[in-house]
Amino acid sequence: MTDCFIFDAVRTPRGRGKKDGALHEVTALELATQSLAAIRDRNRLDTAELDDVIMGCVDPVGEQGADIARAAVLKAGFAETVPGMQINRFCASGLDACNMAAGHIMAGQADLAIGGGVEAMSRVQIGSSGGAWPEDPSIAIPAYFVPQGISADLIATIDGFSRDDVDSYAVESQKRAANAWAKGFFKRSIVPIRDTQGLPILDRDEHMRPDTTMQSLGALKPAFAEMGALGFDSVAIQRYPQVEALNHVHHAGNSSGIVDGAAAVLLGSEAQGRSLGLKPRAKVKAFASIGSEPAIMLTAPVEVTKKVLTRARMETKDIDLFEINEAFASVVLRYMRLMKLAPDKVNVNGGAIAMGHPLGATGAMLLSTALDELERRGLSTALITLCIGAGMGTATIIERV
Amino acid sequence: MNLVNFKWEQDADGIVTLAWDTPGKSVNVLSMATVAELGQVADALTSDSAVKGLIITSAKAGSFSAGADLDEMAGFASQADKDAAKAAFETMMGIHRTFRKFEKCGKPVVAAINGTALGGGLELTLACHCRMIADDAKIRVGFPEAQVGLIPGGGGTQRLPRLIGAMAALPLMLEARRIDPSAAAGMGIVQKPLPAGELIAAAKAWIKANPGARAAWDDKEFRIPGGGPFSARGAQVFMVGNAMLRQRTYDNYPAQRFIMSAVYEGLLVDIDTALKIEARYFVRILMHPASRVMIRTLFHSMQELGKGARRPESEPRTDVKRLGVLGAGVMGSGIAYVSALAGIDVAMIDTTAEKAESGKDHIAKLLDREISRGRSTPDRKSEVLSRIHPAADFGALKDADLVIEAVFEDRKVKAEATAKTDAVTRQAAIFASNTSTLPITGLASASARRQNFIGIHFFSPVERMGLVEIIVGKETGKTALATAIDYAGKIRKTPIVVNDSRGFYTSRCFGTYTLEGLTMLAEGITPPLIENAGRMAGMPMGPLEVLDSVGVDTALKITRQTRKEVTKSQTPDADEQIMAWLVETSDRPGVKGGKGFYDYDNRGKRTRLWPGLFGYGKGQWHEAGVAELKQRLLMIQALEAARCFEEGVITDPRDADVGAILGWGFAPFTGGPISLIDTMGLAEFVKKCEALAAKHGERFRPNRLLREMAKTGETFYGRFAVEKAA
């Protein structure tokens, strides 16, 4: 088997996912295009050497439809011979895209590829692509479908995380993100979005609220109590009948932010890197995906982490840094408790609660965040994982070289 | 054209009025023969150029159509093989073809709804281009199919949402709601109601004004009102609708899920493809055991028992005109109330005139509540109250045809009341006790005329519960039985007939449910799990909530009384210990005290399980698989029903099943505890019981009758069913 290396990783700043977000005026295609162009320009890449461009996008409809990866490849002016593919494994799509590209390389069926993702949530709203699982009674009812916020509250209820627990995690995420931005920890990977005249449209994550406190979060009403009362609480309890009532603790301030953004990661074999003058930054050691119970939905990171560690013949203590997507605070709290991780190893520069979760791109963004921090601290290994809709999880282990 | 179910009348303008009149029935039934005739009508309408339009109406006062012939439906279902499924599918497609002919014939078809239109009858009107309805407040339209475990099969799942949107259509079908003409018009199902006499003229005018009428959904530009399943609003309807369905039914009712699926899948395609989808779901539910047992118990058996199927044939009809009620408490006044509603004069006796009057006040309050809900009038209230005569003097009973005793649940008090009544009533007067547990034979020993002593066990709240349990004592005569059954019919309750035993049938079987819940609690199974298991099994409440609602203190008293009189044991069992701890140590008697196993708010609504429960015993709590808990809770009740059969307490499976569902809400989707056993199969039921007995104790050991029937492969309905009169 061939080793796969990461040569470069870029991500756009994340714009607020609303009409007044800075990136609302920018098409999803343009976000993806600028990420791809950045990879090419920073690495003086002969794009004809690329075997594939794989990008995650969770609502591939409207302007995000018709294989946005290939469209971005063409708009970025890549060689015509570069194919593109859009994939969807919900929230982990960006990481899965990198894993898929890495897999082709490790199998010797490709030498150089880009994995990444894009999601312009202010323009193509979450849920736009419909889907059978939440609506078709023949699956939604037997599978106890509930929206992910209910799942997050269910985790908090079963695991005993209080409103204070989840809120204090959120405050910490905001603090860490603000600190990282202030100290320029993300400088290497952030590629500002500019207009055709070069004027900057956005150069930093604008979702952050560094002044967040327990009091400011305490004022927010639980976001999922009403839909729970409509029927989803009963569905969750029918699946987990040891629960008497759901404790609704999540709200916009302790859940991932809805934002616009794109990311791209350059991967390849050692030989190809050498021939193109690319310096490898890290090796992709192992990756894995699993399915888990779909109603509680967000619990897979623990099991997929164990699976990927086994595959890499490693243990938890061999990992220096963990990036687990902050879909909801309870997801991370549960992960840390079950994996027995100290908070100073997990999401050390903040996460999606502070900076936002552009669905198709986040997985690739977490990869670059972890890599940047490994390099900054001179550490060796990182594990990146995300919980996924319909009960799935993906994880990747990287090792600095 | 050979029409037996319809009368065809063509006027000078070429407009045909088709008057529906099913021969020999008081309501119009959509039988296969009727559908065939409708096909002839549709063909005539299409081919005869002299015919300009069609009005479909009813010749029967008050009834447009009650819907399909359930016996015909059951006929398909009883075959349960691939040929039967094919035949059923072809039949449903035939209905669709005929209804589509009306829609596509190119001439206007109007439904003039001059009576109640339910199920298939309503579906026929949906296939008309226009629906007009009489402004008679007694008329109801709706889809009752879900109530008996079926789905609408005449196009309702496809036409109703295309007419009024999925959001409004789904609850109407899922909840089997029946609505009056103005509500139907408000929803857009029918035109604004008109005086009955104007319907035909209005229909004719509409026909003349709309010569090229077409169904809305046959128009190329047709849009589903509110949007389809993948519009923004439509998505919410299905996402939330699925959750609401699970919340209400715990997914125990396949019919409801099939209605959701038929609507969801049908709205994704055109009407003709959609009707095929509905037909397949209809066949699927027809062949499902749930619909078979629900039709049997909730339709046939209920009707048969309500019409007096258990009556001794030789006895002439009786008519209770004057009733005496002893005890003006909640039960007594409830009994007086429902009797007065039925036109019976009631003498309500209590120990003091004040107590008797307060019973009448309670009835007045019930009537006020009905008035405030628009279900009664002040005139009706005074009419009903005028029939109730409170008194403290037993002399008021002298003309009573029937006296019902609803006094304190104590042998001495009851014996005294019995003797005082005997002293004043006529020889032919029947005496009934409303006791819920004390054996009738024993209570009858205080009576001078034991052949006229019977049990009539009402359920609380009397005005809402549809069941009475009639208990035959050792010496109870046929006239008493006939009187009790006829009286039940007069007050519009369904009677079951059981033989004497402690707890009779209903209290005895239902008691096993709450006992099993307490047993689980004593084992250390966490309370939320027990309660959720009960609800998920299909019971209306978890066992602990049931105990709160009857009163844990009441249940404790009965348990102690039983221990004293029956088992004669010195040591309380685990269930009594828990109840004593809750009531006496923790001062938590139940709903009436605002606290029991649960806490209750000041409106009596339950808020949460008392966290202090975890302080009981040694505090060794654990979880268990909910599937097994559900099984324990249902099987123990079914076992007790089987024991009632063996002891001769129950002799007719209909009494067992109807009594269970109407009396204590036993998982209706099973068709009742005896249907549950038959559906599972005796051998499988016995096997499961043995496994439960091995794991949880002798109370699960299957009795001799069950093991015998398992060996011979019989069913309860096969062995004990009464030969129905031709």
Q: pLDDT of A128-168, one tens digit each?
A: 999 999 999 999 999 999 999 999 999 999 999 999 999 99
Is the per-residue pLDDT at A33 higher than 90? yes
pLDDT reported for residue B562:
87
What distance in Å separates the CA atoms of residue B636 and residue B702, rounded to the nearest whole number? Answer: 10
To the nearest whole Å, the CA of A130 is away from the closest chain B CA by: 6
Mean pLDDT on A189-216: 97
What distance in Å separates the CA atoms of residue B385 and residue B363, rounded to the nearest whole number? Answer: 8
Options A4, A57, A91, A98, the catalytic residue: A91
- Rounded to 10 degrees, the C-alpha dihedral B511/B516/B518/B521 comes to -170
Confidence of residue B78 (pLDDT cuts 50, 70, 90): low
The answer to whether A58 and A78 have CB atoms below 8 angstroms apart is no
**Inter-chain residue contact A238 with B250, CB threshold 8 Å:** yes
Closest CA to B674 of B702, B645, B700: B645
What distance in Å separates the CA atoms of residue B708 and residue B255, rounded to the nearest whole number? Answer: 34
Q: Decide if A160 touches B, using CB distance below 8 A.
A: no
To the nearest whole Å, the CA of B422 is away from the closest chain A CA by: 53
Q: pLDDT of B589-621, one tens digit each?
A: 999 999 999 999 999 999 999 999 999 987 789
Q: pLDDT of B121-140, one tens digit each?
A: 999 999 999 999 999 999 99
The answer to whether A330 and A166 have CB atoms below 8 angstroms apart is yes
Q: Decide if A224 touches B, using CB distance below 8 A.
A: no
Three-state DSSP at B291 gives helix
Residue A248 a catalytic site member: no
- State the ipTM, two decimals: 0.95
The answer to whether B424 and B442 have CB atoms below 8 angstroms apart is no
pLDDT reported for residue B83:
84
Between B244, B526, B536, which is nearest A238 by CB? B536
Closest CA to B539 of B716, B407, B673, B413: B673
Q: Which two tokens stand for residue B188?
A: 């857009």
Q: Which two tokens stand for residue B55?
A: 């009005």
Is the per-residue pLDDT at B1 higher than 90? no
Contacts of A230 in chain B (CB under 8 A): 240, 243-244
CA distances from B594 to B461, B553, B577, B616 (A): 19, 13, 21, 20
Mean pLDDT of the residues in chain A:
98
Contacts of A137 in chain B (CB under 8 A): 238, 241-242, 245, 257, 260-261, 264
The answer to whether B704 and B639 have CB atoms below 8 angstroms apart is no
Return all residues near B587 (Cβ < 8 A) that are at least 6 apart: B593
What distance in Å separates the CA atoms of residue B173 and residue B122, rounded to the nearest whole number? Answer: 12
Three-state DSSP at B497 gives strand
To the nearest whole Å, the CA of A394 is away from the closest chain B CA by: 26
Between B242, B533, B626, which is nearest A140 by CB? B242
Options A104, A250, A251, A357, the catalytic residue: A357
The answer to whether A57 and A97 have CB atoms below 8 angstroms apart is no
Q: Which residues of A240-255 are buried (b: 16+ CB within 10 A; e: fewer)?
A: bbebbebbbbbbebbb
Mean pLDDT of the residues in chain B:
95
Confidence of residue B726 (pLDDT cuts 50, 70, 90): very low
What distance in Å separates the CA atoms of residue B44 and residue A163, rounded to the nearest whole number? Answer: 71
To the nearest whole Å, the CA of A364 is away from the closest chain B CA by: 30
pLDDT reported for residue B374:
85
What distance in Å separates the CA atoms of residue B177 and residue A111, rounded to the nearest whole number? Answer: 65
Q: pLDDT of B491-541, one tens digit each?
A: 999 999 999 998 899 999 999 999 999 999 999 999 999 999 999 999 999
Q: pLDDT of B247-277, one tens digit each?
A: 999 999 999 999 999 999 999 999 999 999 9
Is the per-residue pLDDT at B724 higher than 60? no
Residue B96 a catalytic site member: no
pTM for the full predicted model: 0.94
pLDDT reported for residue B725:
42
Options B129, B288, B300, B457, the catalytic residue: B457
For A180-320, where are the E strands, in sequence order? 193-194, 200-202, 259-269, 282-291
